[in-house]
Chains A and B, each alone.
Chain A
């Protein structure tokens, strides 16, 4: 009996010559499609020993190296993609959407502007301009070898005045003193990530560096995700480390003799969580996080006011901080409306005695095939750090002091609207706007004395994306 051969094998440029000593003399030499630069050489150790060498396509993150002994029903599960969003995907063991060998590029411009400090809250009695930031974000993501690579570059320029210290006003109510000179700063931040399946785990490695005139930070991280075969849940965990250096402008200068010259801090971050499919339209996630900061955690530019001495000294915070968070996320799809409901909650607590709640509700509305409209609202509340005060009657025994509004008790609400449109398969354009308002009134517990430096801001985003196929 003659061997049956596939009559029209395609010999691509990368086609390999098959070994002719094949199974029972009968298997065809099959050159699989060799379509792209990612074609891999096939595994030679195949079942029944005498298999042909076959070229096969490895087109994207979804093409997995099969177990050679796959034949009889006992095949491995369809492996999840090691997509860059692997750890944020609700899909759980759902093959991702990214297509083979695509390169996605995105550019986002953002204008961030803080509202003026009102005259009533200002020590000078005049309204004062605050901060504004222009940000340019570039993102490139694509397939490299068996994994996915993404690079995120941020270039920001910041300018304006920032809160310096808080002192009692004429009626004893705290008023804000702003930094005199206008600050001009640049920040460049590059974050790289590489995602690849390692055995049954989808792993992501991260590396980043951020540089400002007075601040450098280098960070590394590792994340992993695992879905047991056939299970309706996915486990994920991550650990990261950041090494930061602060060199304040004019530290120790004649003008600012009590400002430090330089200092270091480092941060360990970790999280572990699980997501469950609750139904064909519903998935939830729970994540526990632990973070530990060590080193110089003080803001070197800020000062605290003491009534006893009628003067200010540099603020001072503990040199360690431990943080615990508990986060929950819900995603629910409403097929009748072509919309998805997002609900995010985070509980935060640290050993500076700050407790915080964050609740965010978002709606993702598809309109036709091209448009995506996404309104969202966010509520945030925090209690104060144990050593915080708007200003101090006298020195504390522990020596700590900070009047930073970030450590004060407050709440904030923000509303956001995003609109995205895909054009002709390759292009995406979009815009977004967010309005944020902080106030003692929005805090979960009533705030006796509101910090005068609380911030309101508006931010506007414009973006464009292009996908190479």
Chain B
């Protein structure tokens, strides 16, 4: 059941974003190279927000290494 759900989710995602079996060629990556398409377009604000959330919530981390004290009152 879970496997079917995963495949369905993958297919739905594919439909949603229009992915095809055609690989994206090097010269077709202009949109992907846009700064606003970065996983983290604004590192300064992102690191600030991570620190605030880290000090107010139990969950933290995921895609970064963290570090940098507490400030947790």
Contact residues of A with B, CB < 8 Å?
78, 84-85, 88-97, 106, 108, 110, 112, 131, 133, 135, 137, 139, 152, 154, 156, 158, 160, 162, 179, 183, 185, 187, 189, 191, 206, 208, 210-212, 215-217, 219, 221, 223, 232, 238-240, 242, 244, 267, 269, 271, 273, 275, 277-285, 287, 289, 291, 299, 301, 323, 325, 327, 329-333, 335, 339-340, 346, 348, 350, 352, 354, 356, 358, 364, 366, 372, 374, 380, 382, 385, 406-407, 412, 418, 420, 432, 434, 436, 438, 455, 457, 459, 461, 463
Contact = CB atoms under 8 A, between A and B. Distances in A.
Nearest to A222: B65
26 contacts: A88-B43, A90-B39, A91-B32, A91-B38, A139-B43, A152-B44, A206-B67, A210-B69, A215-B69, A221-B67, A232-B23, A242-B66, A242-B67, A269-B66, A277-B24, A278-B17, A280-B31, A280-B32, A281-B17, A287-B63, A299-B72, A327-B62, A332-B17, A333-B37, A364-B36, A412-B57
Interface of B: 13-14, 17-20, 23-24, 26, 28-29, 31-45, 47-49, 51-53, 56-73
Contact of A215 (B20, B38, B58, B70): B70
A265 to B, nearest CB: 10
Given A91-B29, A112-B52, A278-B17, A271 B63 contact: yes
Looking at chain B's contact residues, the main secondary structure is: loop
B38 A106 contact: no
A279 B24 contact: yes
A259 B47 CA distance: 32
Looking at chain A's contact residues, the main secondary structure is: strand
A438 B55 CA distance: 14
A94 B69 contact: no
